Structure 1
Amino acid sequence: MELVTFEYDNRLGIAVPQFTKPLEELPYQEQVQVMLHWEKERGKIPDRIAELENEINVLQDLLYEESHFDTSCELNSNISSLASTINDLWLWYRADENVEVRAHH
């Protein structure tokens, strides 16, 4: 059984780690491998956020021109959903700021 897997999250557009036990309880070499893999995924987050911000801008332009109430509500809902995804991506981006792989003494 793998202690950590990375599963692609369609909503976020990146693979996120799935732990069966806390990182600090993993063998040191596995901690290193997990952190190296995570850094690759984490590096994709700024570009993904930029993509979502562009989608929001397009929807906001459509919303500005929209006069039909139901369509306006749908556009607002889509904008809100994208903003929520951006927020979650920022949480993942910051998730490892306090995580350090420590050598066993």
Structure 2
Amino acid sequence: MSSHFSYNRRLKIDLPCLSKEWSMYPSHLKEAILLEWERIRGAIPDRIGEIDEEIEELQSRLGEEEDFEESCRLNSEISEKASQINDLWIWYRTSPYM
């Protein structure tokens, strides 16, 4: 099954990686892929929660930071984490029929 998913290091989850059109897969394989995708999808809200906690920690550090360059770096890191959350929500809402 892992050949139909690849690990995304940025989002820290497996994402669908299909080598051909969905309609070209036999029914039993579609069912197995969908089952695995639903398992992965089910973990996305937990992953979002983890990132949200990371953002809160970064915001706390940003609120106390006096160095401008470090503030900019923290702000950039917060923006990247927020972008990850946005991407995860997009994947979470992705149709199970890919």
Structure 1 segment 61-76 matched on structure 2, within 5 A: 61-76=60-75
**Distance in 1 separating the partners of 2:39 and 2:19:** 21
Larger radius of gyration, structure 1 or 2? 1
1:36 match: 35
What RMSD in Å do the two structures reach over aligned CA positions? 1.6
**Distance in 2 separating the partners of 1:22 and 1:44:** 26
**Distance in 2 separating the partners of 1:91 and 1:22:** 21
Give 3-state SS (helix, strand or coil) of 1:15's partner.
Answer: strand
- TM-score, normalising length: structure 1: 0.85
More helix by share: 2
Identity %: 45
- TM-score, normalising length: structure 2: 0.91
Q: Which amino acid aligns with 2:52?
A: E
2:53 match: 54
What's the CA shift string for 1:16-64, capped at 9, x where partnerless?
1101122233111111111001011111100000000000000001111
Gaps of 5+ in 2: none
**Distance in 1 separating the partners of 2:94 and 2:71:** 35
Number of residue pairs the alignment of both structures matches: 97
